[in-house]
A = this chain, B = another copy of it.
Amino acid sequence: MKNILGREIPESIQGYGAVKPFKGAFASLGEIEKKSVAIKPAVPGEKKVLASIQEAISKCNMKDGMTISFHHHLRNGDYILNMVLEEVAKVGIKDIKVAASSIFPVHAPLVQHMKTGVVTGVYASYMSGPVAEAISRGELKNPAIMHTHGGRTRAIASGDLAIDIAFIAAPTCDTYGNINGVDGEAACGALGYAVADAIYAAKTVAITDNLVAYPACPIEITQEYIDYIVQVECIGDPKGIVSGTTQITKDPVGLKIAKMTSKVIETSGLLKDGFSFQTGAGGTSLAVAAYVKELMEKKEIKGSFAAGGITGYLVEMFEAGLFESIFDVQCFDLKAVESYRKNQKHQGMSASMYGNPHNKGAVVNNLDVMILGATEIDTDFNVNVTTGSSGMIMGGSGGHSDTAAGAKLAIVVTQLVKGRLPIVVDGVTTVTTPGETIDVLVTERGIAVNPKRQDLIEKLEAANLPVMTIEALKQIAEGMTGVPEKIEKDDKVVAVVEYRDGTVIDVVKKIKD
C-alpha cells in the first residue's frame, strides 16, 4: 500500500506487525490512553543498592525476549549500553530488544550481539556508526524501529514500546535512587530522554559512578521510579559526552545561507518580544543564531525562550538577556551543563514535555522558529535526515519532526549540493519529516516556500528576498550535478520509520551489496 505521502509500505512487516500508515501530521490527535504500569512497591527498610549489574539482571528477572532501554545523554562517551549487554550475553540471555534513545559509534559492540542473537531488535530515534551500518546491511533479525524524540515517549507511554527494564546512566545518584546529571565525573546536564523510561518501565536500574548520601540535590529523576542502584567505576568518557561548543561556520556558503535565513525570520513578523527559537548544533545553524542575535540586539527584542538540545551559544544569548528562559532536554556542551546547574531559568524538560504529541501540549507547540537540517528534501518539502542517498542509515529524526510540527516557522537550511549530490530531489530516499510541517527551504541559491504558506511568500517577495519554487531549486541543483541515478534496493525492510504519532511514514530497505 501507499501512505498519504505516496510511500510504498507493506501492510504488515515481519518482526514489526501490522502497519498503521501515516495520514497527516495532525491526523491522530483524538483521545489517547497512557498505559497502566505494574510495579513492586518498596517496603521501608529495603535497600536498593546492589553489588553488580549481574545482580541487577538477576533481581529484575531478565529473560529471553525482553525489552531493555537506555538513554543517550552520554552520547558517544556512553559506557552503559555496552557494559549491560556484555553482562546479558555472559548469562546467556537471548532475543533482547534494545530501546536506546539514540545509538552512536561507541556502541559498535552491539553489532556482535546482533550476530549472536543476544539482540534481535533495536529502537532508536537516531543512530550513526557501525550499528546503523550493520542494520542497513540487514544484520539485525527484526527491523529496527525509528522514532522521533517526542514519538519515543509517546510510544513508551502508550505501551507501543513496553520496556521491561530501563537502565539509567546516572552521573549522580543517591542511595535511594534520586538522580541528577549535573554532578559527577560524567556530568551531562539535563536527563530529559530518560524520564519516560523511569516512569513506565516495569523495573528501573540506575547505574552510577557517583553514588552519594541520601538525598541528592538537585533531583531530576526521583526515587519513586527507581528499583535498584548499581555503582560502577565509570559510566562514560567525558570527552565523548560533551564535545565542547561547536563553532559557527566560517564557510562563506554557510554564512550566506545563515544570513538569508535571518532575513526570512525578520521578514516573517515573528521576531518581536516573546520570540521563541530553537536550532541545532551544526555550524550553519549556529551562524543563524548569531545573525538572529544581532537582529535581536539591534531591535531590542526580548525573547521568551530557547529550547532543545542546548548549546553554549544559546546559553550566551540567554545570558545576554535575549531570552527569558531556556528549556533543556539535553546539554550539548559543558557551557550548557554549567548554565543548567546554576541558572534557575535554564529549566529542564522531559522528552515528553519537549515533543510528545500525545500530551496536553508540548514545548514545541510554542516554538516560533525552528532551524532544521536536511540530507535531502523533495519537491513536496518532505525531508530525509535518516539515510544517506545510498540508503545507509546515518541519523534519524531526533527532534526534527517534533519541532517541525510544532513551530510556527520551520526552516530547513542546507547547501544545494553536498558531496556532488543534489540535496533537492524529486523524491527523498527516506521520509523523516513530512513536507506539510516544513515552511521554508533556504539554500545559497535561493529560498523556496511551501505553497501552503502564501502569506509568507508575499512577505518575502515584498522584502525582495530571492524566492523561487522548489522545483526551480531542484533544477539548479541538477544542473550542477546531473540527475542522480536511482539506487537499487533489496526488498527486505531493515528499519521502520515511525512518525511521532506512531504511524509509519516510511521504511528503510536493505542496501544492495
A residues with CB within 8 A of B: 26, 29-46, 48, 176-177, 204, 213-215, 217-219, 222-227, 274, 304-305, 324-325, 327, 344-345, 347, 349-350, 352-353, 356-366, 405-406
Contact B222 A353, beta carbon cutoff 8 Å: yes
Say whether B362 contacts A224, CB under 8 Å.
yes
Task: Report the bound CA distance from A42 to B305 in whole Å.
Answer: 20
Cβ–Cβ contact B36 & A36, under 8 A: yes
- Tell me whether A361 and B215 are in contact in the complex, defined as CB-CB below 8 angstroms, given that A41-B32, A44-B405 are known contacts: no
Flag if B361 contacts A223 (CB, 8 Å): yes
Chain B contacts for A40, CB-based, 8 A = 30-32, 360
Are A37 and B39 in contact, with the CB atoms below 8 A? no
Q: A29-B43, A217-B347 are in contact. Are A223 and B360 (CB under 8 A)?
A: yes
Contact flag A39-B44 (CB < 8 Å), given A217-B325, A360-B227: no
State the Cβ distance, A290 to closest chain B Cβ, in Å. Answer: 24
Chain B residues in 8 Å Cβ range of A39 = 31-34, 358-360
A406: B residues at CB distance < 8 A: 44
CA A224 to CA B352, docked complex, whole Å: 8
Do residues A360 and B225 form an inter-chain contact, with CB atoms below 8 A? yes
Contacts of A324 in B (CB 8 A): 213, 215, 217
The 8 closest A-B pairs by CB, nearest first: A42-B361, A44-B365, A224-B359, A36-B36, A34-B37, A41-B358, A33-B38, A217-B345
Output the least CB separation between A54 and chain B (Å).
Answer: 21
B-side contacts of A223, CB under 8 Å: 353, 360-363
Nearest opposing residue in chain B for A405, CB measure: B44
Contacts of A358 in B (CB 8 A): 39, 41
Q: Contacts A37-B34, A218-B344 known; A360 to B43 CB distance under 8 Å?
A: no
Q: Would you call B43 and A304 a contact (CB within 8 A)?
A: no
Contacts of A45 in B (CB 8 A): 365
User: Given B31, B226, B360, which contacts A360 in the complex, CB threshold below 8 Å?
Assistant: B226
**Nearest CB of B to A418, in Å:** 31
A41-B360 contact in complex given A213-B274, A352-B224, C-beta closer than 8 Å: yes
- Do B215 and A48 touch across chains, with their CB atoms under 8 A apart? no
Residue of B nearest to A204 (CB): B360
Q: Among B36, B363, B366, which residue has its beta carbon within 8 angstroms of that of A33?
A: B36
A224 touches B304 (CB 8 A): no
Contact check: which of B31, B38, B43, B304 meets A214 at CB < 8 Å?
B304
Given the contacts A219-B347, A344-B217, A345-B217, A36 and B38 also touching, CB distance less than 8 Å = no
Kindly list chain B residues whose C-beta atoms are within 8 Å of the C-beta of A32: 38-41
Alpha-carbon gap, A48 to B226, bound state (A): 34
Shortest distance between the CB of A381 and any CB in chain B (Å): 17
Q: How far is the CA of A96 from the CA of B372 in the complex (A)?
A: 50
Q: How far is the CA of A44 from the CA of B356 in the complex (A)?
A: 12
User: Shortest distance in angstroms between A430's beta carbon and chain B's nearest beta carbon?
Assistant: 25
Sample (13) of A-B pairs whose CB atoms are under 8 Å apart: A26-B43, A30-B40, A34-B36, A41-B359, A41-B360, A43-B365, A44-B406, A176-B365, A176-B366, A204-B360, A215-B305, A215-B325, A222-B353
Question: Nearest-CB distance from A226 to chain B (Å)?
Answer: 6
Rounded to whole Å, the gap between the CB of A73 and the closest CB of chain B is 20
Q: In the complex, how many angstroms separate the beta carbon of A179 from the nearest chain B beta carbon?
A: 13
| A215 contact set on B, CB distance < 8 A | 304-305, 324-325, 327, 347, 363, 366
Q: A36-B35, A223-B353 are in contact. Are A304 and B213 (CB under 8 A)?
A: yes
CA distance A358 to B225 in the complex (A): 11
- Nearest Cβ on chain B to A401's Cβ, whole angstroms: 13
CB pair A360 B177 closer than 8 Å? yes
How far is A311 from B460 in the complex, measured between Cα atoms in Å? 59
| Contact B218 A347, beta carbon cutoff 8 Å | yes
Contact A38 B31 (CB under 8 A): yes
Task: Apart from A32-B38, A46-B361, A213-B324, list 18 A-B contacts with CB within 8 A.
Answer: A26-B44, A29-B43, A30-B40, A32-B39, A39-B359, A41-B359, A42-B361, A177-B360, A214-B305, A214-B366, A215-B325, A215-B363, A218-B344, A222-B353, A223-B353, A224-B356, A224-B361, A226-B361
Q: Which of A32, A34, A215, A353 has the most CB of B within 10 A?
A: A215
Report the minimum CB–CB distance from A173 to chain B (whole Å): 13
A34: B residues at CB distance < 8 A: 36-39
Contact A41/B357 with A36-B33, A215-B304, A217-B325 known, Cβ cut-off 8 Å: yes
